[in-house]
Chains A and B, each alone.
Chain A
Amino acid sequence: EVQLVQSAAELKKPGESLTISCQASGYSFSSHFTGWVRQMPGKGLEWMGSIYPGDFDARYSPSFQGHVTIAADKSTSTVYLQWRSLKASDTAMYYCVRQVGIAMGGTHFDYWGHGTLVTVSS
């Protein structure tokens, strides 16, 4: 059974750094793109980017390029989403997703984690 288990909710202050995680199981981790989708409070879904753990090829949405870093650890089948300096506008639910499909990088998301709520407030 495919599972994406995400880290717990976080409460941080503006300017702080943060890394949240997603541990995958039930499939060949290195052979599938795994990515992140943001959902701000009361808003829609936004694809942030994804990584191919096999060669650590990371792709980002233009809207998030330079603001976050996506990394992977093949030894623990874990994908990470990292911020160097959080802003209040980063407050959102972040979903880990397995991205699949025949086009480069994958075309859709067949499995979703339960979400990690990040709250940034002074």
Chain B
Amino acid sequence: QSALTQPASVSGSPGQSITISCTGTSSDVIPYNYVSWYQQHPGKAPKLMIFDVTNRPSGVSNRFSGSKSGNTASLTISGLQAEDEAHYYCSSYTSRSSVVFGKGTKVTVL
């Protein structure tokens, strides 16, 4: 199964909003509302930020939001802050009852 497609990098200034896309196929993103997003700071374990396309776990800032349209899911970070600088990975449940990740997007706060 191929990795989901994410842009290699996205950048924005503090206070701005940015959106990271995650494109999949008819075997993963399209048929299921099971897209998740993870934040990973250097040298740290990833952290769940969004699950089931739009849901935020307890404790995650409401500046993070998710959506999906067709074969593309998106993560939007509003009011960008320096601490948001990290790698972000999307993932999706698949028709093989497995999980596939995207290759990751590096977010830079200018």
Which A residues are within 8 Å of any B CB, using their own CB?
37, 44-47, 59, 61-63, 95, 99, 101, 103-110, 112-115
Contacts and interface: CB of A to CB of B under 8 A. Distances in A.
Nearest to A104: B97
B47 A112 contact: yes
B85 to A, nearest CB: 17
Contact of B34 (A46, A61, A101): A101
Contacts of B103: 44
B87 to A, nearest CB: 8
For chain B, the bracket of interface size reads 20 to 34
Interface string B60-73: 00000000000000
Contacts of A95: 45-46
A114 B88 CA distance: 18
Given A108-B52, A109-B38, 13 more contacts: A44-B101, A45-B104, A47-B99, A47-B100, A47-B101, A59-B97, A61-B98, A104-B97, A105-B98, A107-B32, A108-B51, A110-B57, A112-B47
Given A44-B89, A108-B34, A114 B45 contact: yes
A107 B57 CA distance: 14
Contact of B91 (A105, A108, A112, A115): A108
Nearest to B105: A44
A103 B66 CA distance: 19
Nearest to A35: B99
A45 B97 contact: no
A112 B46 contact: yes
B15 to A, nearest CB: 29
A45 B51 contact: no
Nearest to B99: A47
Contacts of A115: 45
Nearest to A115: B45
A62 B89 contact: no
B3 interface: yes
